Amino acid sequence: MWDERYSAEQYAYGTEPNDFLAQNYRSIPKGRVLSLAEGEGRNAVFLARQGYAVTAVDASAVGLEKARKLAAKHGVDVELIHADLANYDLGDNAWDGIISIFCPLPPAVRRTLYARLAGALKPGGVFLLEAYTPDQIRYGTGGGNSAEVMQTRHSLADELAGLRFMHLAEMERSVVEGIYHTGLAAVVQAIAVRDCNTAG
């Protein structure tokens, strides 16, 4: 599905960063950032332009090739990794930040990934996320029709053990990101930190 979606010349979700990320990236300590399910590169390239060392992981080689072109256009370097998040090794104490922007994962994959997430961050590292909530299905403005791949405040609080939330909120907002995410939407946003005294 994703290779097909990314095969068009235009960028499916645009080339501008996600609004929530653009407004809050400064909460991530300067250093190494991992972008989960990065797609065509818009968020990774934005962070690289702000001086972060960015690694972008995605299961679509087609999307990553477009990410490479976008990075070249802006004169920045982004490490691109073609991998399935179901078996990608996040590492230990490896990242100053990890971002997840509209990353729809099956619950079993998501829970396994999130269980490793706190340990993958360095002490003081930050996880930043925006996702659709199940209410989004009623809006029909992006994100598909599977509630199980969507998130809520409660699911995030339950699944992201080992992180302290600095921001966790559900809301209705206008999302304008390319042709697949456009219109009023139901989202959840999170910024969470691995405290310096948390064992990893």
Locus of tokens 């070249």:
72
How far apart (Å, rounded) are the C-alpha atoms in residues 165 and 159? 12
pLDDT single digits (tens) 162-189: 999 999 999 999 999 988 888 999 999 9
Looking at residue 196, its pLDDT comes to: 79
pLDDT tens profile 137-170: 999 999 999 999 999 999 999 999 899 999 999 9
Second-level CATH architecture of 2-193: 3-Layer(aba) Sandwich (3.40)
For residues 71 and 41, is the Cβ–Cβ distance under 8 A? yes
pLDDT tens column, 18-58: 999 999 999 999 999 999 999 999 999 999 999 999 999 99
Q: Which residue has the higher pLDDT, 2 or 43?
A: 43
Residue 200 has a pLDDT of 47
Bridge partners (DSSP) listed for residue 53:
32
- Domain spans in the chain, listed from the N-terminal domain onward: 2-193
pTM for this prediction: 0.95
For residue 197, what pLDDT band results from cuts at 50, 70 and 90?
low
CB contact at 8 A, 94 and 119: no
In the predicted structure, residue 59 carries a pLDDT above the cut 80: yes
